[in-house]
Amino acid sequence: MTRPAFTQLAPVLRVADLGRALAYYRDALGFEVEFVHAAFYAGLHRDGCRLHLKLAAPTPRDQRAFEAEQHIDVCIGTGDADALLACLLANGADIALPLREMPYGREFHVRDPDGHVLGFVQPREGA
């Protein structure tokens, strides 16, 4: 039996203020708003990556995990970490972790207004 294919993946992040979150993802991170449903749920996309936002009370976090530099909510790949970081800085993104070299590639983290951390990773060739 042939296995049906998955066609997309869209993480859902809980946000306290949907308008504020949409503005940040659009203006600072360059996402396009795909849809807003009944003012409590929205979909965004950029370069084939999808993300959904849901108006809801933020999920309580274990403070130790939240403060750890390895903590991320969403990981997004990029072909040029330097250029993307420069673009996001120019747009006013909140850089939670500066660009660094790791065994798997180059990465930096961005924090959104609700505290979600997005990791941007340029994989090392052959990694």
pLDDT one-digit tens code per residue, 44-92: 999 999 999 999 976 666 554 555 456 789 999 999 999 999 999 999 9
Please give the tally of structural domains in the chain: 1
> Which residue segment(s) compose the domain that 118 sits in?
12-123
Specify if 49 maps to a domain. Answer: yes
Specify if 116 maps to a domain. Answer: yes
Specify if 5 maps to a domain. Answer: no
Specify if 57 maps to a domain. Answer: yes
pTM, whole model, 2 decimals? 0.84
Quick check: 108 and 66 in contact, CB under 8 A?
no
What confidence score (pLDDT) does residue 127 get?
Answer: 62
Q: Give the whole-angstrom CA distance, residue 125 versus residue 29.
A: 25
The token pair at 37 is 């449903």
Specify if 30 maps to a domain. Answer: yes
* Beta strand segments in 71-116, E: 74-77, 94-102, 105-111
What confidence score (pLDDT) does residue 68 get?
Answer: 47
What confidence score (pLDDT) does residue 30 get?
Answer: 98
What confidence score (pLDDT) does residue 4 get?
Answer: 72
Please give the backbone phi and psi of residue 124, each rounded to the nearest 5 degrees, phi first. -75, 140
Q: What is the CATH number of the domain that holds 52?
A: 3.10.180.10
User: Collapsing DSSP states into helix, strand and coil, what is residue 18?
Assistant: helix
> What's the mean per-residue pLDDT of the chain?
90
The token pair at 84 is 């993307």
